[in-house]
A = this chain, B = another copy of it.
Amino acid sequence: MDRPLRLISTDAIVGTPIDALARTIEALLVVASQPLSVEELSAAAGDDAERVETALGLLRERYAEGRSGIVLERVSGGYAFRAAREAAEACGRLFERPVERGLSQAALETLAIVAYMGPVSRPEIARIRGVAADSTVASLVERGLVAEAGRESAPGGAVRYRVTPLFERVFGLDTLAELPRLDDLGGEREAIRERLLAVAEARAS
């Protein structure tokens, strides 16, 4: 591997350059408030992306589940430290989970609509669920799972919403593309259509 910084690195105690870079990345990750992408790490460390990837490889081994109480995970388009799963019980005694605690069925359905169809407005959500969405959306915004994303293009248009990086983090997703593809339900749709038609005909006759 090409290590352009080797010559500059002065002293055996500091370690090889890639190890110094790994220490810098450890430092960045332990103070960061959210997952850091390779680009962000590379910009902050002042090193190139390829070498950051190499250092991350080292760190993922060192901070693997079962080897350390700190685990390095890839999530929400970046890298972040979290607690090891084996420490979940201890964490549960000390920390609350305000974001996901008590998410109602209504909240989950609304979240699904925003995740799959966002940016989407409250009237659109209400149309799909058949229930006004105002209080549910407000509670998701308060939890930080959903955020405003501009207004509908027409003047006086409704505010639209999208899911946040925190949503990806809570649900352990790297990107929204990891959401499962929903079955087209083509056959079912046909069946519903025919039932409705039959009802309409019965009424007309």
Interface residues of A in 133-185 (CB under 8 A from B): 134-136, 138, 141-142, 147-148, 150-151, 156, 159
Shortest distance in angstroms between A60's beta carbon and chain B's nearest beta carbon? 13
Name the CB-closest residue of B to A139: B132
Shortest distance in angstroms between A49's beta carbon and chain B's nearest beta carbon? 15
Contact pick for A31, options B44, B82, B151, CB 8 Å = B82
Specify how many copies of this chain sit in the oligomer: 2
Size category of the binding interface on chain A:
35 or more
Residues of B within 8 A of A24 (CB): 69, 86-87, 90
Shortest distance in angstroms between A1's beta carbon and chain B's nearest beta carbon? 4
Residues of B within 8 A of A147 (CB): 135
Residues of B within 8 A of A86 (CB): 20, 23-24, 27
